[in-house]
Chain A
Amino acid sequence: MTSARMHTVLTLQRQLQQLGYVAEPGLAATLLLMTAMGRPLLLEGEAGVGKTEIAKVLAQVHQTRLIRLQCYEGLDAHSTLYEWNYQRQLLAIKLLDDDTRSVAEKEQDIFSERYLLRRPLLEAISSPTPVVLLIDEIDRADEAFEAYLMELLSDFQVSIPELGTIKAVSRPIVILTSNGTRELSDALRRRCLYQYVDYPGFEKELLIVETRLPQMPLQLARQVVEFVQALRQMDLQKKPGIAETLDWAAALLQLGVSRFDEEGLDGIMASLSALVKTQADGASLSRVVVQKLAAAC
């Protein structure tokens, strides 16, 4: 007999699958825990295992907005939190020409919320209803930005020099993803729940293909997944992720490949670019190698 709590986990798992995301019950449990505890969730794993997708589908589950912040090197607080609307400010200063107020008062007016442009982080904590905030590929951002995020992640507030501290109107559901490019700080890790997302096993990946491409014959789907799983065992520069599996499966359908036999081999060769993404990987998949792999599926 399943307990009421377990029942909730399984319900969420079903809900996720209905929305096209195949998740283990462990992940569903973690997603419930993060909302219960109000803690951010750090998802770590190789590129292409579906980390970003989790945030998207979670927003659908909660029927709320997804606010995404894509991190990159050199990202700073200004571009993620707020910027001043300079044009409007300049206009306002002109209009204040005849104003007899002191410079300090005018300044206060010019640097007020009216002239503030909200960027993703401020947007997320200003929303009246909780949104899903996805901080994607946090490992690409500098350490300085990571440190800057601490205040937001632990106290759900941010400081703007001109306006002071702004507290969250509603607490966003925060998901951070990392591909492990850079070691994240312990301080950041401590503030988050953690989930490692691995490449899916055969059964799970087959279920993903079946869910996303229901028109695909089961036998072909099995072969596609077996092929990709075998490919991941090879020494490739860039292992194919789930997105690549789905792209490739769709490409095979387009090319009219129905079986992995000699006849289908041309189609497989023609569609490999959907699966391998570097020149070296492409070169290592010669016709003979692909033939062998396909024959084993």
Chain B
Amino acid sequence: MSRRLAARYVGFIGFLRENGMQVASADGADALRVAEQSGQFDASLLRWNLRALLCSRAEDWRRFDGLFDAYFLPPNRQKTVETHAGGAGHVDLAGEAGGLRDSSDGTPLASAGGTDGDDTDGATAQHGASLDEALGQADFRHLHQPEELQALDALMRQFARRLRLLALRREQLASTGRRIDLARTIRRSIAHGGVPLDLAWRKPRTQRPRLVLLLDVSRSMSLYSFFYLRLARALSLLLTDVHCFLYHTRLIGVAEALRDPDAWRAQERLQLLSAGWAGGTRIGDCLAEFNEHHAGRLLHARSAVIIVSDGYDTGAPQRLVSALVGLRRRARRVVWLNPLASRPGYTPSSAGMQAALPHLDLFAPGSDLASIARVLPQLLQALH
């Protein structure tokens, strides 16, 4: 292959990367090999082969043809091409309702949960819940302001690491246990002429639960949403089996966007997903939506669901109850973190919270890292 042609393919790898696909440098050499094998004159074959080689996710797969056309075909032969960096992945925007534009921009973490029990709590509560959905987009720059937030990130990573420690080997050797380790027992018995005098045991391990985070990002939660989103990102980057959804009047899956290793691209993708951020809340509806579309896939006997919300719900409490009952049936644990509960004298008096309480494994305060650190032992125990 000529150097010019080789450069063209290497350029394509760079182009894919610029467009948000995770392509390793090592793929360049393979791409050249594939291009050589496919021949230069059969565009379809080249496309199929490069697609199989360079895509690794459904999201990449859907975008590949457009990117291939954009790079290799002359402009007049291109179809619709997505050139915007960082696709948002599959987002179900069906049922997107119109509503008043909301000016709330999301609040920098520095002012959100920096200190425990600051006087912003009262202000948050006053927002309450409303029916309208904000169509404005949240400002995710706050998700990655490097300097002031580094310390907080480190703490979150620590939290994630402690969670990771819950993952032990499925079955481990033990001095006593429920099941004999036959291989080892036999080895030890050779010296005794096959008499198993010295038994080796195995005991079952406990496993880290799958985490499903459902974060309320309605207006009344705006002071805390970014904090939890950062926590979700820290968890997603450190642990593999974390699934995060945001909800307000609708439910939006953001697991893939949060897991994006490129902070700025993650921010951009969240931006695309954030329509409706800081509007009203319909907790029951959103949880029901989760049950309907995602629970079958995500929840099993090892899943723990963490709901983060202040409990200000504009929907009917009965709806919330039936959704929670549905969740409880499928998941191992359902935990509710309420930022307002960190305030002294807080009682869960809102109708939503009252309705939800009997159906939770743990109800705990959590307005910032300090309060989460305080309930961490309880939380870890509940998640186990």
**A interface with B by C-beta (< 8 Å):** 3, 5-6, 9, 25-26, 29-30, 33-34, 36-37, 41-42, 44-45, 73-74, 76, 84, 86, 89-90, 93-94, 96-97, 103, 106-107, 110-111, 142-144, 179-183, 185-186, 189-190, 192-196, 235, 237-238
Contacts and interface: CB of A to CB of B under 8 A. Distances in A.
B34 A90 contact: no
Binding site secondary structure of chain B? helix
Contacts of A93: 186, 189-190, 193-194
Contacts of A238: 296
B190 A107 contact: yes
Contacts, number: 123
Given A93-B190, A193-B52, A196-B55, A73 B302 contact: yes
Lowest 3 CB-CB distances: which A-B pairs, in order? A93-B194, A189-B56, A196-B61
Interface size class of B (residues with CB under 8 A): 35 or more
Contacts of A185: 240
Contact of B186 (A45, A110, A142, A190): A110
A90 B186 contact: yes
B171 to A, nearest CB: 7
Interface string B46-73: 0111011101111011100000000000
A143 to B, nearest CB: 5
B39 A5 contact: yes
Interface of B: 22, 24, 30, 33-34, 37-39, 41-42, 44-45, 47-49, 51-53, 55-58, 60-62, 169-171, 182-183, 186-187, 189-191, 193-194, 207, 210, 240-241, 255-256, 259, 292, 296-298, 300, 302
Given A181-B297, A194-B55, A196-B55, A6 B45 contact: yes
A84 B183 contact: yes
A189 B57 contact: yes
Contacts of B297: 179-181
B295 to A, nearest CB: 9
7 contacts: A33-B37, A84-B186, A86-B183, A89-B186, A94-B194, A193-B52, A237-B296
B212 to A, nearest CB: 12
A5 B170 contact: no
A132 to B, nearest CB: 17
Nearest to A185: B240
